[in-house]
Structure 1
Amino acid sequence: MNDQPPTPEHPLNDPSDPGAARGCPVAHGDLAHGDVTRLYGPDASVDPHGIYARLREEYGAVAPVLLEGDVPAWLVLGYRECRRVLDNPLQFSRDSRIWRDWKEGRIEAASPLIQMVGWRPDCVSQDGEPHRRLRLAVTDNLHAVASRGIRRHVTYFANKQIDAFADRGTADLVADFAEYLPMLVLTRVFGLAASEGRTLAESCAHVIKGGAEALAHNDRIMRILGELAERKRQEPGSDFTTGLLEHHAGLDEDEVLGHLRLVLIAAHTTTSNLLARVLQLLLTDTSRLAGLVSGELNVSAVVEEVMWNTPPLAVLPGRFATADLELGGTGVREGDLLVLGLTAGNLDPEIRPDTGVSVQGNQSHLAFSGGPHECPGQGIGQAIIEGAVDALLHRLPGLHLAVAAEELTSTASTWESRLDTLPVAFAP
């Protein structure tokens, strides 16, 4: 543990900088100067990898950035530094109530950032014993629903999705398949009507994307989940919602709703993105696709590779420094916001000088976060992806990419980079 005060040599901690006195990476009065990289907007949406590389070259493992609304934060780019933050909740808390910009009134309650980093009555927003109590309720019930035939739900909904385009001989496997399949499975897991799936998937995407509509879409999610919780109090079932309501941890109403929201958004957005990227890799590398069909390669190996190179969550929100300390040679002040570059960390040349080397069998990537807050739903996501790929290969003979691989494009927000389309053709 190295709790040294910020070094004056760091360009953002120069005592002459009015922002240095309060420890923020950028003084609010200087934001209009435009000399700090924004992780949102047109440039960030097109070339996030270029931004990460440029920041790494200029600042090293930890760089100053601006989030939506020109909110200052530190972007952690180094693999080892990400691990240190994830593994040390006493130094880097997930509790945003210690975020200095929030405490001092510089963040509006309607800011889209609040949907991602604001405090909520869920396990992600807390550390220590409160975190353990709430996380236990989540993990117990995720394990319970995973043991109740989730692959059967995946197969059912995957085939229903495929039925809609199987006779055409063409499809977009993003819009026609990956974008909604995980949410359809989650409706069954939660005890929701499948008809709610498309609405919830669209709202989850807006919450992650940010922008002016994020708050309204979050409200819509909470309304649907509130009605669900009330219905399950009256009519319990063998679903995740009932499990939270009846768990011995004794979650109150706000805690139940908070965890329904947390699992719904996190599970859908990451799994839909991951599924699209796995299909992209298979269809742009025919040797992998052939290996999968022949049984020489399994889906989990492809998922592992995607987790390293294009993790579904590119930037993880957020952690808050509990004291003045040093991270990667950079001075961080108490109350500063840090966001973790999972993609940048996975591609850190300090640990992967040659990204062409196989990572098969190496599960030490950052894609599932780490430490006490590591994603508890990994098994469910894996089951959805394996079932989805299996259904596609069995139902669509001759499946192949309908455009050149270099024509595929992605659009990024602060938190993720999503494949825009995946046009394919097959024998109808």
Structure 2
Amino acid sequence: MDQRDQSPYESPHASPHESPSESPHASPYESPVPEHHGLVPLHGDLLAQDPRRVYEALRRRWGAIAPVEIGPGVGAWLVMGYQEVLELVWNEQAFSSDARRWSAIAEGSLPEDSPLLTVLGWRPALNRLDDEAHGRQRQVVTETLNGIDLRRLRGAVRQQAEALLDGWGMNGHADLITQYARPLVWYAFRVLIGLPAPGERTLAALLGSITGGAHDADRAEAELMRTLHRLVAEKREAPGPDLTSWLLAHATHLTEDEVAHNLASILRSGGESTVGWISGTMRLLLGDARLGSAMATGRLTVTDVADRALWDGSPVPNIAGRWARGDIDFAGCRVRAADLLIPCLAAAHADLLVHSSHDAGTRAHLAWGTGSHGCPAKDVARSIVETAVDVLLSRLSPVRAGVPDSDLRWQPTLWRGTPVALPVAFPPPLPDPMAVTAAPAPHTVMGVPERRQEERAAADSGPTVQRWGWWNSMNGW
């Protein structure tokens, strides 16, 4: 994106000097959106307010696509129209997923330690590749994820959810983000990739820094990659019932570096988005008593409410960008080669054009992305979310919001659609003197790769190897 001119954007939607308040169609969510040299700065504290206000103000000001600044001196296009987002992610002839094309890198306007690179930078993983290289890794990851026994996964999540509730259920109040959704989701992902227990807090801290745009995001990513490379080396020696071992065993033979980076991609895109989906589903139920009544009478299911939550508040408000392969006219704007375009799912889901069509209320939402780069782990995420919500509703009844929805604070980042906290209150259950609390049993959610079981048996018959000491040293993160 050429930033040598003060305002390099050619938009038919509004004059750069027109104020959003001058629009004839007033909005209840209108929010003042500042500009800096023709760009709207979407960093700092702006997104800590209700993101719906920000995106609606941007749409009213610019239309389907807005020129924004996602870091100091780093410009991008925020694509907010539903149809425009579809075109952006489907048209692979015009738009690339390979960040090595990014003009901000070539021109040196992006510092090497920028937190943006932990989300948008290039790496040898399926979500940052194009064409045949992407197809090769996509097949491996998809086939590996399809090997997960979702029934076992739901059982593991349910048992851990019950254990978490046992820890604070007598209090009568809780924060569903920090005390439930986040530790539960990271427990599930730890089991999926085969990391030893404990480890949920470390994963949550590392990925929180990476996707939250923290000042130490580059350090957190380096630590995450060291952890995953060690894990891959361990699983190469002694495969187990986990995604890591299955990725290594696939006939396509990914390198250990590719396996580690694809694990990081799964964690980066899957963890906090699943936390956000749980919180979004509960926010809907807490804010609309009719939904609870409809579920009680069988007119709605947890699945129905969870799908509605993906429309109402995208767990991932913006997904990793695309780069223009060449100069192109897009959504009425002149986009230049190597410009970054960010698909804004939160704004696309609020597009009045789609809500006036038959698609609204169906699974036509874009929460999973779409096209060849659509999320391959949606069944895993759905299993975790539906189980988590079901356990909450069965154990905490009735449950009510601890603060009004309008008082929730949001994380000031483009990449996470989860409030900082989701306080709830509920009547504590009467103590059961006969109840016995048992620690959750270890769980596996898939088998050991068959063609490597003999290798593992041979390794187990040899000298005992002390493993995972490196993980224990990380628990202070």
User: Structure 2 length as normaliser, TM-score?
Assistant: 0.80
For 1:146 and 1:94, locate their aligned partners in 2 and report how far apart those are by CA, in whole Å. 31
In the alignment, is the contact (CA less than 8 A) between 1:180 and 1:272 conserved in 2?
no
Letter of the 1:283 counterpart:
L
Partner of 1:396: 396
Partner of 1:3: none
Q: Do the aligned partners of residues 10 and 324 (structure 1) sit closer, same or farther apart at CA in structure 2, a change above 3 Å counting?
A: farther
In the alignment, is the contact (CA less than 8 A) between 1:309 and 1:346 conserved in 2?
yes
Letter of the 2:379 counterpart:
G
* 1:51 maps onto 2:48 in alignment: no
In the alignment, is the contact (CA less than 8 A) between 2:183 and 2:201 conserved in 1?
yes
Q: Do the aligned partners of residues 95 and 141 (structure 1) sit closer, same or farther apart at CA in structure 2, a change above 3 Å counting?
A: same
Which deviates more, 45-54 or 86-95?
45-54
Correspondent of 1:139 among 117, 139, 142 = 142
Partner of 1:24: none
Correspondent of 2:208 among 200, 205, 209 = 205
Q: Shift of the alpha carbon at 1:114?
A: 0.7
User: Structure 1 length as normaliser, TM-score?
Assistant: 0.88
Q: Is the partner of 1:350 in helix, strand or coil?
A: helix
For 1:9 and 1:263, locate their aligned partners in 2 and report how far apart those are by CA, in whole Å. 39
Q: Shift of the alpha carbon at 1:194?
A: 3.1
Q: Do the aligned partners of residues 358 and 399 (structure 1) sit closer, same or farther apart at CA in structure 2, a change above 3 Å counting?
A: farther
* 1:307 maps onto 2:310 in alignment: yes
Letter of the 1:99 counterpart:
W
Partner of 1:362: 362
Letter of the 1:49 counterpart:
R
For 1:139 and 1:8, locate their aligned partners in 2 and report how far apart those are by CA, in whole Å. 39
Q: Do the aligned partners of residues 79 and 359 (structure 1) sit closer, same or farther apart at CA in structure 2, a change above 3 Å counting?
A: closer
Q: CA RMSD in A?
A: 2.4
Q: Shift of the alpha carbon at 1:398?
A: 2.7
Q: Do the aligned partners of residues 241 and 42 (structure 1) sit closer, same or farther apart at CA in structure 2, a change above 3 Å counting?
A: same
In the alignment, is the contact (CA less than 8 A) between 1:82 and 1:345 conserved in 2?
yes
Q: Shift of the alpha carbon at 1:224?
A: 1.8
Partner of 1:26: none
Q: Do the aligned partners of residues 12 and 128 (structure 1) sit closer, same or farther apart at CA in structure 2, a change above 3 Å counting?
A: farther
Partner of 1:427: 427
Q: Do the aligned partners of residues 76 and 404 (structure 1) sit closer, same or farther apart at CA in structure 2, a change above 3 Å counting?
A: closer
Q: Is the partner of 2:178 in helix, strand or coil?
A: helix
Identity of aligned residues (%): 34
Q: Work out which of the two has the higher radius of gyration on C-alpha atoms and give 1 or 2.
A: 2
Partner of 1:23: none
For 2:138 and 2:422, locate their aligned partners in 1 and report how far apart those are by CA, in whole Å. 36
Q: Do the aligned partners of residues 401 and 62 (structure 1) sit closer, same or farther apart at CA in structure 2, a change above 3 Å counting?
A: closer
For 2:373 and 2:191, locate their aligned partners in 1 and report how far apart those are by CA, in whole Å. 25
Q: Do the aligned partners of residues 47 and 390 (structure 1) sit closer, same or farther apart at CA in structure 2, a change above 3 Å counting?
A: closer
For 2:221 and 2:65, locate their aligned partners in 1 and report how far apart those are by CA, in whole Å. 31
For 1:191 and 1:100, locate their aligned partners in 2 and report how far apart those are by CA, in whole Å. 38
Figure out how many residues of one structure are paired with residues of the other and give that number: 403
Q: Do the aligned partners of residues 70 and 300 (structure 1) sit closer, same or farther apart at CA in structure 2, a change above 3 Å counting?
A: farther
Partner of 1:78: 81
For 1:285 and 1:257, locate their aligned partners in 2 and report how far apart those are by CA, in whole Å. 42
Letter of the 1:91 counterpart:
A
* 1:95 maps onto 2:98 in alignment: yes
Q: Do the aligned partners of residues 161 and 332 (structure 1) sit closer, same or farther apart at CA in structure 2, a change above 3 Å counting?
A: same
In the alignment, is the contact (CA less than 8 A) between 1:315 and 1:340 conserved in 2?
yes
For 1:297 and 1:254, locate their aligned partners in 2 and report how far apart those are by CA, in whole Å. 45
In the alignment, is the contact (CA less than 8 A) between 1:154 and 1:185 conserved in 2?
yes
Q: Do the aligned partners of residues 313 and 409 (structure 1) sit closer, same or farther apart at CA in structure 2, a change above 3 Å counting?
A: same
In the alignment, is the contact (CA less than 8 A) between 1:146 and 1:380 conserved in 2?
no
For 2:51 and 2:397, locate their aligned partners in 1 and report how far apart those are by CA, in whole Å. 35
In the alignment, is the contact (CA less than 8 A) between 2:150 and 2:383 conserved in 1?
no
Q: Unaligned regions of 5+ residues in structure 2, if any?
A: 1-8, 17-34, 429-477
Q: Unaligned regions of 5+ residues in structure 1, if any?
A: 1-5, 14-31
Q: Shift of the alpha carbon at 1:35?
A: 4.1
Q: Shift of the alpha carbon at 1:339?
A: 0.6
Correspondent of 1:174 among 172, 177, 182 = 177
